[in-house]
Structure 1
Amino acid sequence: MQQNIVIKKARQHNLKNIDLILPRNKIIVITGPSGSGKSSLAMDTIFAEAHRRYLQSLPIELRTIFDQLQKPDVDFIEGLSPGISVDQKTISKSPRSTVGTITEIYDYLRLLYAKIGIPYCPRCGRRLISQDINKMLDFILSLTEGTKIQILAPVVIEKKGEHKEIFDRAKAEGFIRARIDGNIVELTQEFSLKKHVRHTIELIVDRIIVKEKYKNQIKRALELAMKYTQTVVVNIVNENRDIIFSSVLACPNCGISLPDIDPRLFSFNSKYGACPRCKGLGYENIEEEEEIDVLSLIPCKLCEGTRLREESLAIKINGKNIAELSTFSIDELKNFLYGLKFSSYNAPIAERILKEIFIKIDFLQKIGVGYLSLNRPSFSLSGGEAQRIRLATQLGSHLSGVLYVLDEPSIGLHPRDCLKLIESMKELSIRGNTLIVVEHDESTIMNADLVVELGPGGGRDGGYLTGVYPPDKLLKSRNSITAQYLTGSSKISIPEERRKSQKFIKIIGAQAYNLKNINVEIPLGVFVCVTGVAGSGKSTLIFEILYKALVKKLYNANVYPGNYKAIEGIEQIDKVVCVDQSPIGRTSRSTPATYTQVMTEIRELFSLLPDARVRGYSKSRFSFNLLGGRCESCQGDGIKKIKMHLLPDVYVVCDNCKGKRYNEETLQIKYKGKNISEVLQMTVSEALEFFSAVPKLNQKLQIMEDIGLGYITLGQPATTLSGGEAQRVKLAKELSKKPTGKTLYILDEPTTGLHMVDIERLLNILQRLVDMGNTVIVIEHDLEIIKCADYIIDLGPEGGSSGGYLIAKGTPEEVALNPNSYTGKFLKEKLGL
């Protein structure tokens, strides 16, 4: 097999005809300033081509199932293996997706419960026994005389297929009707089922009126039904209500039966196991929607958020049902499963299942997410947590000869846990895999086999190959901006003095999730960093308790803060702003210019131009989202999507506006020789110079430049922005508003996606906010940010159940000298103490 990956003339996005030779079965880090082309090279060129070639190798009938990929803009690539990308965006945000389903641990637990679970009555709690036909008959005869019933035999439950053989056999054996997916169907009529849809088929054995004289007929119907299934359904016609009987499981006290126990009974994504009220979502007020308002979620009143029906929850192992097990952290789950004792009959069954579960748990612990619980929804995970879960899933697959492309896997990791991640990546490499890692973390860079640096700037000033070296040679390079920060020749200066505060917000008795009833003082008017290992309780304290409590108090929002006793000092702030990494929009119509309202100012400016006023053009004329000024051929998109049979969808530039989004009349209006489409193609830096004489625009653009967004274009689709870029666009919007001096800003890992040179810019912005009298709280692991804080709140000592304590507080120097703080240990070295 070829020993290298060879790339010639890569031009994807802003890449400038890059030629590159990368060794296989090594760890290769791609680094450089924000917007320098790292993701364009790693994700959009190398991985995209590897994935495209793999799909092209599949039979044509399989290729139609997958989204087909466009060939990246590159002349030549060879030496690629089948590729797997682990980025910050590809995890499902569906409310049905949890840590357990993503890692597949929950699927193995479903199998374990189906095979060795002990059933109990969901009403009285007694262990269930089987019901014979006589007990079923007695119950039916106890119904009001004259009640009309149907006796059904479920022969297919929630299984995909057309099931023609089932119907052929049923008709041959004299059955006339069946209930299919809840509807009565005459078997003598022509019908067909959809092959790829799950179906439930219940043969109608008999229709009877409950009377003593029909006792023998009812008994014969039950006996016939029992020939086909161990579960019999009695439908009370007048009430349209089903009563389920089982020859295996029944409660002698309550007369309640459980259906057949198989893995589907424990799946909240199946009608067979899902709570009938919330349909397995676990919440009252959401559907399968893309957008989820996490602040306003209300647990389902029937299942109390467990997602499962009561029959599913009535089956237990060692006194715990599957929902209770799902509330355990991964670390706790391992201890519970290790402590189980099995009978000689169950032991061989359980051991095979547990072996697979333990393999997955070990990798999750190794990669630093052992504190997460299986029932944690995927939409509540941070980008770093989601990425590491996917990485752990791949680690457990024992593949070799694979190309892994990882996008900043260190996001959300404390420096201590980064070392665990690096060891896991080395394992993959030793196993014969190639790892290409987009990363800024110093320890990851120094543990790479090869470092590829792009730059020298971002956007149009980026995309050049500035260096390719092993880490030791990188440190000796005089031209490398990365090396300058790693060696200390360029560095972020420690503030000469720390701000002091006499005003505090005090959280008393914080005990949501893993917080251990702690009291925390947050000083106001200073720069505060909240630190600690992953899962130590940082987000719970700041977002679940403080932020939700503040928006509830200040804005009367309909939110549900985590459990706490009291919060003192809220009256000292008048505004709270949360700046997270969620997208600024989900379509190409949302851009940095529209989100920050720069576009509003540009449209206003163009509408005031003499040519526009003569023609009577208002500012709406200059919106690509509205009728009038936009190109109607593409409705302002600038491109058209062409569906191609068996080939990728082709996006072609609109043949009418040539990608400019506007009609010809609108484009005739020009400011300083540029029409509005040309303005949208400018980078922030170019626009800042172009609009230097327009104060309102200049102010907003200057903030975007200062925050490190100078390289992005004004009209760049929101869907192409990274999480870190989206967060900085949001911050720029907030900074452009008039400050009150009493605002509390909360940021979640704002260094995501930032090179060391960009972190310095971000710090200057945050310090400027504090200088205006505001309070900035940052949840962060980056030591460059932490060392510049006025005050640190350090939680821990570990994650999950071993976290949630206040470990250290005070200035960076005070925390650095605290022997109990992991953060202090790394900070001590950074501060040179």
Structure 2
Amino acid sequence: MAGIEIRDAHLHNLKNVDVDIPRGKLVAVTGVSGSGKSSLAFGTIHGEGQRRYFESVAPFARRLIGSAVDPQVGQVEGLPPTVALEQSTSGGGARSTVGTVSALSNSVRLLYSRAGDNPHGLYSDSFSPNTPEGMCPTCQGTGVVHEPTEATMVPDPTKSIEEGAIAAWPGAWAGKNFHDILQTLGYDLDSPWKDLPEADRHWILFTEERPVVTVKPLRGADQIQRNYEGTWRSVASYLTNTLAETQSDTLRKRVLSFMESRTCPTCHGRRLNPRALEVTYAGLPIDELGALPLDRVHELLAAQSPDPNTAEALLLKQILPALQSALDLGLGHLSLDRPSRSLSAGELQRIRLAAQLRSGLFGVAYVLDEPSAGLHPAERGAVLDICRQFVAAGNSVLLVEHDMDLVAQADWLVDVGPLAGERGGEVVYSGPVGEYDADTPTARALNNRELSLNDAARSPFASLSLQGVHARTIDNLDVEFGLGQFTAVAGVSGSGKSTLVSTVLAGVLREGASAVTDEDEADDAGGDTAFSVGARAGFDEVSRVVQITQKPIGRTPRSTLATYTGLFDGVRKLFAATDEAERRKWTVSRFSYNVKQGQCPTCGGAGKIEVELVFLPGSYTTCPDCGGARYNDETLEVTWQGMNIAEVLDLTVDEAADVFAEEPKVLRAVETLQAVGLGYLRLGQGAPELSGGEAQRIKLATELQRSRNSRRGHTVYLLDEPTTGLHPADVELLVAELNSLVDAGQTVIVVEHNLDVLAQADRIIEMGPGAGAEGGRIIADGTPAEVAAQNTATGRVLR
């Protein structure tokens, strides 16, 4: 068999795997969550492809590319160049849009510069709000101007400066510095702000002067008393400079909260300079074309009839197929100017997938990460069509996928498992899909795809009523959600499901209930979408709302499964209560790897150190002193049940269930993690190593643990596509836990495409009938059986 020959793959949990995979075929790579399938497809196969590419690149250029994964494989033969399209919850920077991610914006700008009406000799950069040539000079291409005012910088003028009147000042040393400079300059810090002379208030807030003074700070008796030269900067100057220079989203949000934002008076929010906005193509300036849905853009451009020998005709030949691919993948509701941060991971990946079709590559292996994510079952045939186009063009496709209807149509199947973590990491089958017959989770899911519709739906005890909802494409919608029910909101991509649940319902619930969202993500949960509701009722029945997303549980190895769930607090208490710890007078803080006394001094408790080489990209490696243990040797001398604290962190969740069987507080957290199928993860597994689906289930497990100990009234749980990244066997566990919440009297509302979830819900609300302007309405509402009887996209696939 001519193909890719892999020998001794041992990355992560892979157990010295040998496997042969055919080239020029559509290959599905399957397995339960944590089985090792991504380690094989992305870590080993694509990782080896990256490594070989790195070897062909000049050393001085390697650090511009980014670090590659060590594939940890003995030998790979027959490997073509690889292109990976992975799920990502990061949509790029603040200026990143659908047009920039898909590269369609480049072609459209060229079209305007070459074929636009009256182009004035403008170049393509003249039509970009992200370049000096194209951006509006007043707002720098953002469409919005941000201006600090006295009211925004000093929200409570009855306070004195000493009492914190200047809320816009930064915290910590920088804010103390500004305070001390004003004190040195002799300004009144003790009178209410409103009583200060207007000239003083204006100077403090708006002066462009930058006096330098010798500051004599007042410090505590145990602190060093040292004078320094301090340079004054007005509050407005600090805010505007920080906004222009910061790379931190958190700091940017804080700064903007002390500024007044309004539409740019020069471009009126259109972001471009006046010359570019004068140019039209097909009767529209470029910003108006960018605001149209992609299906409308395709219709408009397809109607043009250029001379076949012109640049216009050549550019349209590039643009129209890419647009058609986007439409086929269910992205017709998006616009070129839609911020990429507002997109789901599935939408982002499908945009990149559509862009790849125009690359014309031959002889490569595409490695795709669940491209069906975010697609309604009725739309998933388009993914298969795209994959077949790649294969027909002389390429290979490796599809890491959980949708068994798609897997069933592949040419070849590689199933990794049989279970997760230590009980996975083996290739249990590699061969034609139709010949797979074994007692494994994947084989069972492939051979038993019949749905069992819920015939015992729970009735609500009350309802949340929203009337006159307006948001994005939702126009004057009335809807009710049952309390005490498991409700699934379904519909094709772009039909308004997430807007209704994650933006409108979540926003209204947050206004009146005790809200729990992912850290610093309240804005992300609702996005930047404005919404309005005419009338609402029943919300006084809700005490608490929990919105669980796929955002990471942290961004560094310091955030781990154990710390996020809170179980590590209980573990540290057990260590602090040992005889040896008490003899040494150590408290629980000694057993935190974030505290100096206990952590390894080399890595600071991270377990890893960053290595920077002159001609290679930076990468992390295990700390050479603690070997990844995170702690110093002295701390590791204390043991509980024969294990030190690092050895406990190295336990899997399943192993921890046995170890902590007699410790109820720790065991409860461990058992909830097992219940959502995360028994294979290690307690000390860092946040960067977790997938979006794993992060969401960790949050759900943490919340399940809290809810079982909570007497805080009725809770509404909101989840957006929680089955993303889950094998059918894991979906079954997830549905059982969601049902347990409802059985306990709570409310669960999910946005979902997975048919097993829809079939087991008490009620389905289907949005549609299409996407974008063709959606935003409720087209079906009832039990799974009632919806299955209707002629809608969801009804047809449930039958």
Q: TM-score range by the shorter chain?
A: 0.7 to 0.9
Give runs of aligned pairs for residues 422-571 of structure 1, distance below 5 A.
422-474=384-436, 477-488=437-448, 494-554=453-513, 561-571=530-540
Post-superposition Cα deviations, 1:249-273, rounded to whole Å, max 9, x if no partner, equal 7xxxxxxxxxx63222221211232
Partner of 2:26: 27
Pair 712,282 (structure 1): closer, same or farther in 2 beyond 3 Å? farther
Q: Tell me the amino acid that sits aligned with residue 808 of structure 1.
A: A
Q: Contact 2:461–2:484 (CA<8 Å) still a contact in 1?
A: no
Q: Tell me the amino acid that sits aligned with residue 141 of structure 2.
A: G
Q: Tell me the amino acid that sits aligned with residue 473 of structure 1.
A: E
Q: Contact 2:721–2:753 (CA<8 Å) still a contact in 1?
A: yes
Pair 290,336 (structure 1): closer, same or farther in 2 beyond 3 Å? farther
* Distance across 2 between alignment mates of 1:586 and 1:300: 33
* Distance across 2 between alignment mates of 1:349 and 1:440: 43
Pair 818,495 (structure 1): closer, same or farther in 2 beyond 3 Å? closer
Post-superposition Cα deviations, 1:198-217, rounded to whole Å, max 9, x if no partner, equal xxxxxxxxxxxxxxxxxxxx
Give runs of aligned pairs for residues 22-421 of structure 1, distance below 5 A.
22-89=21-88, 92-118=91-117, 261-282=122-143, 289=247, 291=249, 301-302=263-264, 305-340=269-304, 348-421=310-383
Q: Tell me the amino acid that sits aligned with residue 624 of structure 1.
A: Y
User: Which of 728, 731, 737 is residue 756 of structure 1 equivalent to?
Assistant: 728
Q: Tell me the amino acid that sits aligned with residue 558 of structure 2.
A: R
Q: Contact 1:792–1:811 (CA<8 Å) still a contact in 2?
A: yes
Q: Tell me the amino acid that sits aligned with residue 797 of structure 2.
A: F
Aligned length: 683
1:826 and 2:797 are equivalent in the alignment: yes
Pair 592,294 (structure 1): closer, same or farther in 2 beyond 3 Å? farther
Deviation at 1:600, TM superposition (A): 1.9
Q: Tell me the amino acid that sits aligned with residue 481 of structure 1.
A: P
Q: Tell me the amino acid that sits aligned with residue 497 of structure 2.
A: K
Deviation at 1:114, TM superposition (A): 2.5
Partner of 1:704: 673
* Distance across 2 between alignment mates of 1:290 and 1:461: 41
Q: Contact 1:816–1:825 (CA<8 Å) still a contact in 2?
A: yes
Pair 818,262 (structure 1): closer, same or farther in 2 beyond 3 Å? same
Deviation at 1:79, TM superposition (A): 0.7
Q: Contact 2:471–2:532 (CA<8 Å) still a contact in 1?
A: yes
* Distance across 2 between alignment mates of 1:382 and 1:692: 40
Q: Contact 1:299–1:305 (CA<8 Å) still a contact in 2?
A: no
Partner of 2:688: 719
Pair 91,745 (structure 1): closer, same or farther in 2 beyond 3 Å? closer
* Distance across 2 between alignment mates of 1:283 and 1:670: 58
1:520 partner SS: strand
Q: Contact 2:112–2:280 (CA<8 Å) still a contact in 1?
A: yes
Structure 1 gap ranges (5+): 120-247, 250-259, 829-833
User: Which of 732, 755, 758 is residue 783 of structure 1 equivalent to?
Assistant: 755
Partner of 2:224: none
Q: Tell me the amino acid that sits aligned with residue 54 of structure 1.
A: Y
Q: Contact 1:549–1:561 (CA<8 Å) still a contact in 2?
A: no
Identity of paired residues, percent? Answer: 40
* Distance across 2 between alignment mates of 1:582 and 1:756: 22
Deviation at 1:436, TM superposition (A): 0.7
Q: Contact 1:507–1:567 (CA<8 Å) still a contact in 2?
A: yes
Post-superposition Cα deviations, 1:193-252, rounded to whole Å, max 9, x if no partner, equal xxxxxxxxxxxxxxxxxxxxxxxxxxxxxxxxxxxxxxxxxxxxxxxxxxxxxxx97xxx
Post-superposition Cα deviations, 1:544-588, rounded to whole Å, max 9, x if no partner, equal 211122213336988774233222221121111111111111111
TM-score by length of 2: 0.81
* Distance across 2 between alignment mates of 1:728 and 1:543: 17
Pair 95,520 (structure 1): closer, same or farther in 2 beyond 3 Å? same
Q: Contact 1:789–1:811 (CA<8 Å) still a contact in 2?
A: yes
Partner of 2:228: none
Q: Larger deviation: 479-488 or 807-816?
A: 479-488
2:140 partner SS: coil
1:317 partner SS: coil
Q: Tell me the amino acid that sits aligned with residue 46 of structure 2.
A: F
Post-superposition Cα deviations, 1:635-692, rounded to whole Å, max 9, x if no partner, equal 1122223223334546443232222110111111111011110011111111121111
Q: Tell me the amino acid that sits aligned with residue 555 of structure 2.
A: R
Post-superposition Cα deviations, 1:340-362, rounded to whole Å, max 9, x if no partner, equal 577x8x99343222222112101
1:809 and 2:670 are equivalent in the alignment: no
1:824 partner SS: helix
Structure number with greater Rg is: 1
* Distance across 2 between alignment mates of 1:729 and 1:674: 25
Deviation at 1:379, TM superposition (A): 1.1
Pair 555,764 (structure 1): closer, same or farther in 2 beyond 3 Å? closer
* Distance across 1 between alignment mates of 2:657 and 2:576: 20
1:611 and 2:580 are equivalent in the alignment: yes
2:310 partner SS: helix
Q: Tell me the amino acid that sits aligned with residue 690 of structure 2.
A: L
Q: Contact 1:467–1:480 (CA<8 Å) still a contact in 2?
A: no
Q: Larger deviation: 283-292 or 332-341?
A: 283-292
* Distance across 1 between alignment mates of 2:666 and 2:624: 32
1:657 and 2:626 are equivalent in the alignment: yes
Q: Contact 2:408–2:446 (CA<8 Å) still a contact in 1?
A: no
1:643 partner SS: strand
Partner of 2:220: none
Partner of 1:177: none
Post-superposition Cα deviations, 1:124-144, rounded to whole Å, max 9, x if no partner, equal xxxxxxxxxxxxxxxxxxxxx
Deviation at 1:276, TM superposition (A): 4.0
2:280 partner SS: strand
1:673 partner SS: coil
Pair 684,641 (structure 1): closer, same or farther in 2 beyond 3 Å? same
Deviation at 1:400, TM superposition (A): 1.3
Pair 499,7 (structure 1): closer, same or farther in 2 beyond 3 Å? same
Pair 270,658 (structure 1): closer, same or farther in 2 beyond 3 Å? same
1:655 partner SS: coil
1:767 and 2:739 are equivalent in the alignment: yes
Post-superposition Cα deviations, 1:101-148, rounded to whole Å, max 9, x if no partner, equal 1112112222222234346xxxxxxxxxxxxxxxxxxxxxxxxxxxxx
Q: Tell me the amino acid that sits aligned with residue 279 of structure 1.
A: Q
Q: Tell me the amino acid that sits aligned with residue 444 of structure 2.
A: Q
* Distance across 1 between alignment mates of 2:585 and 2:741: 42
1:547 partner SS: helix
Q: Tell me the amino acid that sits aligned with residue 37 of structure 1.
A: G
2:739 partner SS: helix
Q: Contact 1:70–1:648 (CA<8 Å) still a contact in 2?
A: no
* Distance across 1 between alignment mates of 2:536 and 2:277: 37
Q: Contact 1:93–1:290 (CA<8 Å) still a contact in 2?
A: no
2:773 partner SS: helix
Q: Contact 1:794–1:808 (CA<8 Å) still a contact in 2?
A: yes
Pair 492,675 (structure 1): closer, same or farther in 2 beyond 3 Å? farther
Q: Tell me the amino acid that sits aligned with residue 301 of structure 2.
A: L
* Distance across 1 between alignment mates of 2:513 and 2:139: 31
